[in-house]
Each structure stands twice: as C-alpha cells, then as structure tokens.
Structure 1
C-alpha cells in the first residue's frame, strides 16, 4: 500500500507541475524577463530586498517563473543565494559622502542644506488609471527619452548629488540623541539561528530582509496606538552607493564591485528623558536601509527599529520575539503553506476526541 501511494502521489505531482506550466502560457505569449526588470522595477526591488540578494535580472527571472508571486519569487532567489560562495564582507558605506542622491526629502524641515529633491515618486500624482492606447504610450516614451536621457548623462559626468545628512544639523545643536558608538563586528544573521535577546545589528538585518507588507502593518499599528512612537521623516533619500571589497591579506587594496540602489530613512522621534532630576526633550532616530526604491519599507523599518530598541514588552511592537519571528516572508509563507499538506492522522485524532467528549456528555 505504501509503495502504491507514493507512486501514485508522484505521478499526480508531476501532472500538477505540467498543468502549472500550461496555465502560465494558455492566455498567450509569456512576458519577457527583460520587460519585467525594466517595467516592474519596484516589484523587482522588493524581491531583492526580502531575498537579501542584489541581482535585478535574477529577481525578474524569479518573478517570471513564479507568475508574479512575491513570496514565491523571494523563496526562489533566497534558495539560489544559499548556493553562492561567500567571498567576504564589503567595506562600510558612508551614505553622507558616498550616496549619489536621486531623491531626498525631509518632512521635519521646509529648507534643508542642499534643498529638497523630489525625484521620481508616486507621492504627488492623482491615482487615476491611464487608459491611453499602445500607440499613445509609445509616443510618450519617445518624448520622455528625448527629454531626460541628455540630463541623466550630464548628471553622471558631473558627479553631483552628494549631501550631508539633515541629522548633522540637529546634532550640532545638541538636540539629537544618537545611540552610543558600537564598533563591535555585526553578527551575520544569514549564518546563524535567531536567538534572544538580539543585538541591534541583528535586528536591522532581519528588518531589512523582512516582508515589506508585514513591516508596514506593524509600523502602522505603532502609530495607531499599539506602540509609543510618533515619528517624523527627518530625511528620506534614494540613490546609488558604491560597494568596495578588501581582501583580508591585502588590507590596503580595495576592489570596486559596482553600484547598488538603496533607500535610506531616518525617523525622528521626540522623547522625554530625565537628567539630574530634570525632564528634558530630545530627538531619537529610528533607522531604515533597504535595497532599491522601497520608501514605505524603509520608513516602516525606521519606526520598528526605534520601537524594538525601546523594548517595551507591554506593547506588541516592543516585543522583539513577536516582531522578528513574524515578518519573514519565507517563514510565514512556509508555515501557512504547510497547512495544505496531509494532516489526516492528527485531524482524525481530534475528531475521535470530540466524539468521545460528546458521548460522555450524552451519558
């Protein structure tokens, strides 16, 4: 019986996979991977962030294979990442001096050093569906390319767009309360099991690779009263940063690996503290840093960073076990998906318990 069940099950699985491939193509030609990478950039960025692998083409391929399912694409890309050899760790990136800024705003100040830079964003558009046909769209594309391509080329050759942080202004005034410097090596959470209590470097890694929608939901709950943070966007910036790698044997020779696009958010949270028996207001920072253009996730990460640093376990979003265990895409999807697997034995035991309880009640 066991052999027949396994044999039949394997045939059914193979047929299911063939049917899945057919469903992908039954409506017409498949979307090209290059088109996904070019036209679904924000989706590609989300997959790269949650998979902890900066590889736009592979993220687009994973989305193509997974029919656009983000969690399935993240699973594919993270599985691929686990097969790669680890060469070492890149040098620390200084976003103040090295980020080539494409977008930079502050909700805390009207005027900031260097000025506000709106960049490319959906924030200021009307949410109306575009019903233009393909010919109209192609003409619009030609006009936009003719207008912006020369400007982008000029900006790249000029090497402009590097700005000091807005927080430096508050720090000079003694208003900003920065966390004490910690020069210990950060833990690599891709190579160890999550243990509590965590260090801040561990929490930031888990938040950065967490599911964007989960971070957003938790951060929103903090603002709505299930936390004690009332944040303001001190600075939100999107841009590219260079990545360098130094071999251990050659500490003076740094190799340039390339540029990656990042979103960084510094969230300002006013806090009342006591010093020498007197109450004093200071500003604390929650920090977010993620792959690609992913502003909502970076802001959410900054809010959760502050909430977890405070560590008030009377609030659900101050409990690191509750938050960190429930924001991972693979863990969440995997556990919910396993409910679709056979549970015949355990469910039958529950039915037997119910029947026995009912029989005793009737007696």
Structure 2
C-alpha cells in the first residue's frame, strides 16, 4: 500500500493516539490562549467519544508562568519557578475545558529519571494504562520544577518526551501540533518558495540537520526536534503526523480524512520496545570508537562489537552501562550496553577475544557489546 492508503488506514483504525501541542500553539501575548485550549478539548473529546484513547503531551507551563509574572526569566531557578506557577494554571484550564464534555483529565509530570529507571518506568506504565482503562485523558508535561538542570538528565523538549510516551503507552499514532503547516523542504522564513512536504517516506535516510533549523520563540524545540521524535517512533512502526495547531479544528479535519500536514511513514523493520527503552530512556555514560572494519560489520552485517574493533574509549562507566558507538569520524552509528567497564575496555581494545582472559584474568564475554543489546542508527 502507498503512503496515502497507509495514512487513511491508520487514521481510521487507530485505537490510541498521542497528541503533542507546543507552547507556540497554546500561548499568546497574554499567556494561555483559552480559545485554543477550548478548541483542542472540543476536538479531543469528540475523538474520545468515538472510542479513541487520547494522551496529550502539553507544553506551555513556563510560558504561562512567565506571562503571569510579567518579568524576565533569566536562569534555571526562574524557569523552574515560572513552571510551578504556570503548570497549575495550564492544568486548571484543561480540567475546566474537558469537564464541559464530561471528560476526566489526569495530570502526569515526568522527569527523565522516571523513565530511565526500569522500576519507575513500569510504575508509569501501570498508571497510564489504568487511567486509559478508566477512560481518563492523561495530560503529560516534563516536571520542570524538579528536573535536574544538567542537560543529559532532562528530556530536552516535549517532542522527545512525546516519543518516549508513544512507546510507554503503545500508541498507534503520534500527532505533533506546531506553529507551522508541516515540514518544509527549506526554511520558509528564508525561502518564500519553500514547499510543505506531504510525506516523508524514509525518515531514516533524511538529513534532518540540513532540512530544518531554529525553534519557536515560546518553546524549546523546533522542527528538528519534531523530526527526531518522528524518526524515533518510526523505528517502533508508529507513524507521525506533523500539523499546524494554529489552524482551526485541525484534529477534526485530520480524522475526517482531509489531507493536511506532513505524514512520516514508519519503518518496515521495527525494533523491540526493549531496545527502544535502552536507546532513548537511558543516557549514554561514555563512548567507544571503532575502526572501519568493525563499523562495516555492525552496520552492514548485523554483528556484535568485538574488542578487536575498538580503537578508543571515552568516559568513565561500569559494566552494563549504555555507551555510544562512534565510527572513525566520530559520528554516532549506534548505542549499546557495554559488557565491560571503561578501564577493562582500554585494556582489551584492539585485541582478539581469545586474548581477553590472558589480559583480564577472565573472559566473561567475547563481545564488547552484544548485538542483542545494541541499536544502530539511533536517533539521539
């Protein structure tokens, strides 16, 4: 089936949808735009009435708090405090809007640690699924008020969070609502002849860096982060629709079959949810650089990474840590769980597996990273 048939099929038969809406869509000069909030609630309530499970990823807390304070937000403490003020107003607005349609909404605030820790990940899974069993509408945001200031410990933006929630709730579709009409073939701010793409058929081969740049003034993401999120969920076999949240009744039009926005086709060969969790919920603790032969064996022949193919080790990490796998140019070709600490890898790198016991006194694993614990072409 071609992408148009696939799109019609998914939209018609989807049972669970994750919808992400950004700050640029939700907020105006005076803070939260209640007209937008009410229109979104109206459309999502109608989807819910048709039997769809809806999970909403909503930005806007910091922007809403900033408007209330009417002051400059200059650092992390100010951003976190503004989020605390704005989040309550954001949730109150949604609660009232959904309440008009007899819908129960539920607030879920997450940090990256909540999803990188396997036990807390499962707790989140149980909470989401019970809420959906109860026909509630979960409304999710990053918990900015307590999220660590260190970049590696944050989601970075709600596009990344949305991609992780798609895996968590086993969604059939991700709808990413932004201030643009979709993905353009070049920057429309710089090129008036830029065209909106109807479809991205192979996002794994797309040069995201050269396709888009910049971010919205109200948010922390941009089209780059939206495409990165789409690339991630495509690996799970889940499509993404990127549409303008500024257009009136856009969700209603999408589910009525109108051909708007940019459709991102999922990959045919999908990865396991375990590999997805390893690659995107955990944060790499270091890196290993491999030679050309090892890179070819990994990428083209699906082999495990042997110590003989490693030429450099970066960072400090222990056995079982997630590490990046770099080619000779320093480009990331994948991530995986290391069978050895950084110290042991430095001792055995460049050596044959048969030499590991001689160097370390024992050879618990012939591979530095087993293929089953590795994801290549990771969108990180």
Shared topology, TM-score over 0.5? no
TM-score, normalization by structure 2: 0.24
**Greater relative contact order (Cα 8 A, min sep 6): structure 1 or 2?**
1
TM-score, normalization by structure 1: 0.25
The structure with the largest helix share of the pair is 1
Work out which of the two has the higher radius of gyration on C-alpha atoms and give 1 or 2. Answer: 1
